[in-house]
């Protein structure tokens, strides 16, 4: 058994689990944060993407003990004071989801992409950046639109704040 | 996944000792290959020695044209290194084309080289750049290191600590990614120093990464995409699977070699 301590969405949490427990299972089953999804068993679909120390990772590709000591943000950590994060709002406004299963991973990936590229994001960069996230409903088109619109919105908000 | 025991190493010595003391131990670096393999129960190490917290395995150092990349440097860090890009943009671009952003945030150069997947990108770069693989106990030339499918010169418990190479005047990489996995269905890395050209092919060889003499000869006479046209690529020792026949891969070797050279002009 391992003792795992993480900062999840700003709160310090710890719990015991087997050494072989995947981070995604720790998040879902120990912490009850079921917004992070398991969509495949092969580290390919991206439904489980969370941020670890500010970087997007597939939480099914790392053990909870490997992640111990790090800071994790899940989809539940994005909204502030009951207000959707701009990326969440953009997915809603642009109809960037249908069944919604891949959406948490898509949104976490989009936030990471925008953090790294700011509003210099192009459609090509967005499409390449979504390489590790599979959606079987939308055909990606509206997801790409949502990411670009959120990037523009967040860029404008950043400029206004400066 | 079968049960395993996790250890977090803080130095190279500690990690090697942990690996030696625990019979069926394996190092885990980015885990992007090993954890996936364990999930499928295709690997079942008794112990996992985590290298992500070993400071000596981190960092990219560029000194003139000498490059040293720590084994635990991630693909994303290699892709983002301005210092590396200034002397060898081909390697930074190669790293930026591995898998997807999430894989690049965790996966490391040491893990990729140790694994020696026949469709991995880095082995071709190491071979074409005439890199040296530095381990906890010795230095191994890339040409001695890669020894066939998933096989390397590493001994039990031996750890890669870094890779080193001299940046060539020109280097380029082009791959035809498998549309599902992004691994190379064929990738070609070309490097030129003066008149000496090295061309390494990944994703295509039935025995893993290899150098192609015909392409090297043609390109040392004329460093141009057109020079590749007359070279014949023998499909005999190339892979054939559901993704592509060996004849198709033979053609891809040519096309990727052309693109790799074109990217340097
Ligand atoms: C969806 C997906 C797509 C991918 N696409 C590509 C691609 O396009 N191209 C590509 O090249 N790769 C691809 N990969 C593989 C990826 O690059 C892996 O990160 C890499 O192959 C292994 O590196 P790692 O650090 O994750 O190693 P790990 O998984 O931690 O380890 C792999 C093996 O190397 C050993 N090892 C690790 N570090 C050391 C060390 N320092 N010394 C000795 N042995 C060590 C381990 O014991 C293990 O046997 C992909 C992976 C996934 C999941």
Smallest Cα distance from A18 to chain B, Å: 8
Confidence of residue B23 (pLDDT cuts 50, 70, 90): confident
Considering chain B, what is the average pLDDT of its residues? Answer: 97
Domain chopping of chain B, boundaries: 5-50, 57-166, 170-262
Q: B10 CB near a chain A CB, below 8 Å?
A: no
Would the pLDDT of B227 be above 80? yes
Q: Provide the CATH topology of domain B57-166.
A: 3.30.465
Q: Which atom of ligand 1 is nearest to the CA of B158?
A: 43
Provide the Cα torsion B33, B124, B116, B95; round to 10°: -20
pLDDT at A162 over 70: no
Facing A129 at nearest CB: one of B40, B101, B182: B101
Instruction: Give dist(CA B148, CA B188) in Å, integer.
Output: 17
Q: Residue B12 has which token pair? A: 């190279």
CATH architecture assignment, domain B5-50: 2-Layer Sandwich (3.30)
The mean per-residue pLDDT over the stretch B140-162 comes to 97
Nearest CA in chain A to B181: A44
ipTM: 0.96
> Which CATH number is B170-262's, of 3.10.129.10, 3.40.30.10, 3.30.390.50, 3.30.750.24?
3.30.390.50
Locus of tokens 């890395």: B189
Per-residue pLDDT reduced to its tens digit, A37-55: 999 989 999 999 999 999 9
- Domains of chain A in start order, with CATH, are 2-77 (3.10.20.30), 86-161 (1.10.150.120)
Q: Pick from A22, A44, A112: which is nearest to B101 by CB?
A: A112
* Cβ contact, residue pair A19, B100, below 8 Å: no
pTM (two decimals): 0.97
Q: Is B41 left (phi over 0), alpha (psi -120 to 50) or beta?
A: left
**Overall average pLDDT of the B202-220 stretch:** 97
Take residue B49 and report the two structure tokens written for it.
Answer: 């020695």
Residue A97 has pLDDT above 70, yes or no: yes
**pLDDT tens digits, residue range B82-113?**
999 999 999 999 999 999 999 999 999 999 99
């Amino acid at each position: 058994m391992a003792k795992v301590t993480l900062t999840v969405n700003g709160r310090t949490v710890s719990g015991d689990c087997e050494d072989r427990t995947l981070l995604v299972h720790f998040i879902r089953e120990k912490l009850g944060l079921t917004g992070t999804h398991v969509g495949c068993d092969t580290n390919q679909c991206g439904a489980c993407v969370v941020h670890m120390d500010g970087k997007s990772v597939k939480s099914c590709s790392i053990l909870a003990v490997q992640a111990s000591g790090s800071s994790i943000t899940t989809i539940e950590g994005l909204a502030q004071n009951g207000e959707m994060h701009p990326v969440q709002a953009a997915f809603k406004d642009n109809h960037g989801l249908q069944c919604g299963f891949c959406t948490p991973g898509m949104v976490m990936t989009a936030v990471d992409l925008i953090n790294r590229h700011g509003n210099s994001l192009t459609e090509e960069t967005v499409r390449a950046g979504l390489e590790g996230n599979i959606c079987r409903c939308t055909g990606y088109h509206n997801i790409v639109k949502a990411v670009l619109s959120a990037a523009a919105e967040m860029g404008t908000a950043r400029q206004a704040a400066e | 996944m079968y049960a395993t025991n996790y250890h977090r190493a803080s130095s190279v010595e500690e990690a090697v000792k942990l690996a030696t003391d625990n019979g069926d131990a394996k190092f885990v670096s980015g885990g992007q290959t090993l954890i996936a393999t364990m999930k499928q129960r295709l690997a079942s190490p008794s112990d996992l020695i985590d290298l992500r917290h070993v400071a000596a395995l981190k960092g990219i150092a560029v000194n003139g044209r000498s490059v040293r990349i720590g084994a635990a440097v991630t693909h994303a860090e290699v892709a983002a290194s301005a210092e590396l890009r200034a002397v060898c943009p081909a390697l930074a671009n190669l790293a930026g084309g591995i898998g997807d952003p999430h894989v690049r945030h965790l996966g490391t150069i040491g893990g990729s080289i140790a694994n020696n997947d026949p469709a991995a990108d880095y082995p071709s770069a190491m071979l074409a750049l005439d890199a040296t693989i530095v381990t906890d106990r010795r230095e191994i030339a890339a040409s001695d290191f890669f020894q066939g499918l998933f096989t390397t010169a590493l001994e039990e418990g031996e750890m890669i600590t870094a890779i080193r190479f001299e940046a060539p005047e020109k280097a380029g990489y082009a791959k035809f990614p498998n549309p599902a996995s992004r691994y190379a269905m064929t990738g070609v890395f070309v490097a030129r120093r003066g008149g000496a050209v090295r061309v390494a092919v990944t994703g295509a060889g039935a025995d893993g990464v290899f150098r192609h003499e015909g392409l090297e000869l043609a390109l040392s006479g004329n460093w141009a995409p057109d020079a590749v046209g007359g070279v014949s690529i023998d499909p005999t020792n190339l892979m054939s699977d559901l993704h592509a026949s060996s004849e198709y891969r033979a053609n891809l070797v040519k096309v990727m070699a052309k693109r790799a050279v074109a990217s340097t002009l």
